[in-house]
């Protein structure tokens, strides 16, 4: 009781449940372990980039990715069976070395996104185009993956 009054931990009161406190502690531990792993074991990455939407109709899957400022030459797109891979490098022009940042949110660096699709695609007919910073990849479904209409016979 004295420990709780002095530290406020655990703060199980009317507004927070013990489960909320455990969830908060789990999030904090994840955040801390992520920070350790980033500096020691891998190179820093530019977050989840590019942002993507994946949709489908009866014949195709459509992957739309936001890639503002990237040129087609900076992208590497590959398809294998039911997996689409988009990778490249986001470049930002260098700032003056004496520049003092007030806010820094734009990151540069290599990125890679891999999308697993529900079914296989016809890799020979895949098309990609980039308009106004939005990459659209059209992935035709393989014939074996398309739904078949079956006629019901009556006797």
pLDDT (tens digit per residue) in 39-90: 555 444 445 678 999 999 989 999 999 998 888 888 999 999 899 999 998 8
pLDDT (tens digit per residue) in 24-47: 888 888 888 776 655 555 444 445
Q: How is the chain split among helix, strand and coil, in percent rounded to 5?
A: 25, 30, 45
CATH topology of domain 52-92+107-145: Immunoglobulin-like (2.60.40)
pTM given for the model: 0.61
As a residue count, the chain comes to 155
CA–CA dist 9, 5 (Å, integer) = 8
Structure confidence at residue 127 as a pLDDT band (50, 70, 90): very high
pLDDT of 4 strictly over 70? no
CA–CA dist 155, 141 (Å, integer) = 35
Task: Indicate the domain borders of the chain.
Answer: 2-41, 52-92+107-145
Question: Residue 30: how many CA atoms within 13 Å on its side-chain side?
Answer: 6
Q: What residues form DSSP beta bridges with 87?
A: 76, 112
Which pairing describes strands 60-66 and 127-131: parallel, antiparallel, or unpaired?
A: unpaired
Question: Which residue do the tokens 């709780």 mark?
Answer: 4
CA–CA dist 76, 97 (Å, integer) = 31
Distance of CA 139 to the CA centre of its chain: 19
> In the chain, what percentage of residues exceed pLDDT 70?
79
State the average pLDDT over residues 119-141.
93
């Amino acid at each position: 009781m004295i420990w709780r009054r002095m530290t406020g931990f655990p703060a199980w009161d009317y507004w927070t449940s013990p489960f909320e406190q455990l969830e908060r502690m789990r999030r904090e531990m994840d955040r801390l372990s992520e920070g350790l792993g980033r500096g020691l074991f891998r190179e820093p990455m530019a977050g989840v980039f590019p942002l993507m939407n994946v949709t489908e109709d009866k014949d195709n899957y459509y992957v739309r990715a936001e890639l503002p400022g990237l040129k087609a030459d900076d992208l590497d797109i590959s398809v294998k069976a039911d997996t689409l891979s988009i990778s490249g490098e986001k470049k930002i022009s260098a700032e003056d070395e004496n520049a003092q940042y007030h806010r820094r949110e734009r990151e540069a660096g290599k990125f890679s996104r891999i999308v697993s699709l529900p079914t296989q695609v016809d890799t020979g007919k895949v098309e990609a185009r980039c308009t106004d910073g939005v990459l659209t990849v059209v992935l035709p479904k393989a014939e074996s993956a398309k739904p078949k209409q079956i006629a019901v016979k009556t006797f």
